[in-house]
Chain A
Amino acid sequence: MSDVETLPRAAQARPELPPPMGLLAELTHRCSLRCPYCSNPLELDRRSSELSTDEWKRLIDEAAALGVLHIYFSGGEPMLRRDIAELVAHAHDAGLYTNMITSGVGFQPAALDAVAEAGLDHIQLSVQAVDARTCDRVAGYEGASTRKHAVAADIARLGLRLTVNAVVHRENVHQIRDFVQLAEDWGAARIEIAHVQYYGWGLVNRARLMPTRKQVEAAMADVEEARGRTAGRLVIDCVLPDYYARYPKACMGGWGARLMNVTPSGRVLPCHAAETIAGMTFDNVRDLSLSEIWYRSAAFNAFRGTEWMKEPCRSCARKELDFGGCRCQAMALAGDASATDPACSLSPLHEEVVALAEADAASGRSDFVYRGYQGV
């Protein structure tokens, strides 16, 4: 038992736990766009608090040693970091598969050449709508659409593997076929069609974004039709809206099971919305190693496995399939992060949530509250 003796005793080690598959590196919260469903928190990290180049490099080394396979450079807009090519090269040299999630806005074309040369494996370019007017309005940025078309051309010129990221909601959910066509026109190998998830900014704007049940059903049919039509050319991944669903999503593939999320100032979260859970504290890479945080932190261990579950999850046959849904959504809708996600039809709150969604969808509101440093 000498191995056990060498471990810190402060928290229980979990040697049976596999290492994380992916790490989302939110390099900065700065972004030119102001999307009303931004996945960044309502309170954004300032530039002055961002991790330095050396801190990110150390973290990348720790991630590679820990067993992380995919790193996702994200933000905010990751291309706004002046050291972006240096960080991509560092991750590439460490053996990580490097992904970039970009808005396409706020940087010069040469910066893209630099990250391609640094060994970037895959780039994800967001598009807010297929028509320029809606795209610019949702992004809160005049000229966003034009700029994205230019960046898509640069990506094709560089031969980078492209995924088009389309976040859908009431104002653009009818454009699925057009998004798919756009992805094909841009030479993408993959498109991600993700319905807005309602935390943070998305929750603030829920009445402006929630689609009707009829729209959601039509969108699902459109996705299936597109999958048949583009099979072998385009991979179509879809993140479903779950307020209208029968069962909740298996959020993050299970809490603390596959992914780590590092904020611009170094806090490590089990998911990007985890800070919405009241009373939970998060360790920082400035204080602890990634390995210590993954295996031993209170936040990562809080909802691992099934022991924490209450009924109806505890005795549910699906508990290992969807892990009771999303903890942040349980917090937002039930006021209790360990409750069954109210998106689940087995939750006592489900009917209430469906009624909320229907009322929001019928509200007709379009006065977006845009993301910004001023707060809500």
Chain B
Amino acid sequence: MNADTTKTDITAIVPALPRGVRLRYDESRGQWFLLGPERVFEPDETAVEILQRVDGARSIAAIAQDLATAFEADRDEIAADVVQFLRGLADQRMIDL
């Protein structure tokens, strides 16, 4: 049951954009950017959907549930994708986990 416990722990985490990281829509290019110190990320559509739900209040589980409902997809699969995506950003200090 160890693996399940770990998984439960991770999805209970409430991710947040730290001060100094901003998600914004740029009118002149017609696209979203995730901006941080000397960093400009161009998130794809899926990434934007995830990042728009990172509000410092919702857990990863809640975000995954919301996305699963919105896109009629499997919640566990989405949760795994969200964890992987946010961990990648956390490694670069673009998300607090």
Choice from A19, A67, A161, A192 contacting B20 with Cβ under 8 Å: A161
- Interface residues in B3-62 (C-beta closer than 8 Å to A): 18-22, 24, 26, 28-29, 33, 35-38, 40
Chain B positions within 8 Å of A18 at CB level: 29
Q: Is A190 an interface residue (CB 8 A)?
A: yes
Among the 9-residue stretches B63-71, B77-85, B86-94, the one with 4 or more Cβ atoms under 8 Å from chain A is: B86-94
Q: Is A217 an interface residue (CB 8 A)?
A: no
In whole angstroms, how far apart are the Cα atoms of A19 and B33 in the complex? 14
Question: A-B pairs with the 10 shortest C-beta distances?
Answer: A161-B20, A67-B28, A97-B35, A189-B93, A122-B37, A122-B20, A121-B20, A232-B91, A190-B37, A163-B37
Choice from B19, B22, B91 contacting A160 with Cβ under 8 Å: B19
The answer to whether A97 and B19 touch across the interface, beta carbons within 8 angstroms, is: no
Nearest Cβ distance between residue B10 and chain A, in whole angstroms?
Answer: 15
In whole angstroms, how far apart are the Cα atoms of A271 and B21 in the complex? 26
The answer to whether A121 and B92 touch across the interface, beta carbons within 8 angstroms, is: no
Total interface residues in chain A, CB < 8 Å: 27
The answer to whether A69 and B20 touch across the interface, beta carbons within 8 angstroms, is: no
Answer whether A160 and B29 are a contact pair too, CB < 8 Å, given A70-B35, A122-B37, A190-B37. no
The answer to whether B40 and A235 touch across the interface, beta carbons within 8 angstroms, is: no
Nearest Cβ distance between residue A238 and chain B, in whole angstroms?
Answer: 12
Q: Is A150 an interface residue (CB 8 A)?
A: no
In whole angstroms, how far apart are the Cα atoms of A161 and B22 in the complex? 12
Closest to A65 in B: B28
Q: Is A231 an interface residue (CB 8 A)?
A: yes
The answer to whether A189 and B26 touch across the interface, beta carbons within 8 angstroms, is: no
The answer to whether A159 and B19 touch across the interface, beta carbons within 8 angstroms, is: yes
Nearest Cβ distance between residue B59 and chain A, in whole angstroms?
Answer: 20
The answer to whether B18 and A161 touch across the interface, beta carbons within 8 angstroms, is: yes
- Interface residues in A52-67 (C-beta closer than 8 Å to B): 65-67
Interface contact tally, CB-CB below 8 A: 59
Choice from B19, B26, B91, B93 contacting A190 with Cβ under 8 Å: B93
Closest to B87 in A: A232
The answer to whether B28 and A19 touch across the interface, beta carbons within 8 angstroms, is: yes
Choice from B40, B90, B91 contacting A69 with Cβ under 8 Å: B40
In whole angstroms, how far apart are the Cα atoms of A97 and B18 in the complex? 14
Choice from B28, B37, B40 contacting A189 with Cβ under 8 Å: B37
Binding site for A on B (CB under 8 A): 18-22, 24, 26, 28-29, 33, 35-38, 40, 90-93
Q: Is A348 an interface residue (CB 8 A)?
A: no
The answer to whether A21 and B20 touch across the interface, beta carbons within 8 angstroms, is: no
Chain A positions within 8 Å of B18 at CB level: 161, 189
Closest to B33 in A: A69
Closest to A22 in B: B40
Choice from B19, B29, B93 contacting A235 with Cβ under 8 Å: B93
The answer to whether A67 and B22 touch across the interface, beta carbons within 8 angstroms, is: no
The answer to whether A21 and B37 touch across the interface, beta carbons within 8 angstroms, is: no
Nearest Cβ distance between residue A210 and chain B, in whole angstroms?
Answer: 26
Nearest Cβ distance between residue A192 and chain B, in whole angstroms?
Answer: 8
Nearest Cβ distance between residue B36 and chain A, in whole angstroms?
Answer: 8
Answer whether A161 and B40 are a contact pair too, CB < 8 Å, given A66-B28, A95-B24. no
In whole angstroms, how far apart are the Cα atoms of A285 and B38 in the complex? 25
The answer to whether A189 and B20 touch across the interface, beta carbons within 8 angstroms, is: yes
In whole angstroms, how far apart are the Cα atoms of A99 and B39 in the complex? 12
Chain A positions within 8 Å of B19 at CB level: 121, 159-161
A157-169 vs B, CB cutoff 8 Å, 1 = contact: the mask equals: 0011101000000
A100-111 vs B, CB cutoff 8 Å, 1 = contact: the mask equals: 000000000000
The answer to whether A69 and B35 touch across the interface, beta carbons within 8 angstroms, is: yes
The answer to whether B35 and A99 touch across the interface, beta carbons within 8 angstroms, is: no
Closest to A258 in B: B40
In whole angstroms, how far apart are the Cα atoms of A99 and B37 in the complex? 8
Nearest Cβ distance between residue B84 and chain A, in whole angstroms?
Answer: 15
Nearest Cβ distance between residue A16 and chain B, in whole angstroms?
Answer: 14
Q: Is A142 an interface residue (CB 8 A)?
A: no
Chain B positions within 8 Å of A159 at CB level: 19
In whole angstroms, how far apart are the Cα atoms of A18 and B18 in the complex? 29
Closest to A64 in B: B28
Q: Is A237 an interface residue (CB 8 A)?
A: yes
- In the complex, 29 of the A-B residue pairs with CB atoms within 8 angstroms, ordered by the A residue number, are A18-B29, A19-B29, A65-B28, A66-B28, A67-B26, A67-B29, A69-B33, A69-B35, A69-B40, A95-B24, A97-B22, A97-B35, A121-B22, A121-B37, A124-B37, A160-B19, A160-B20, A161-B18, A161-B19, A161-B21, A161-B37, A163-B38, A190-B38, A231-B91, A232-B90, A232-B91, A232-B93, A234-B93, A235-B93
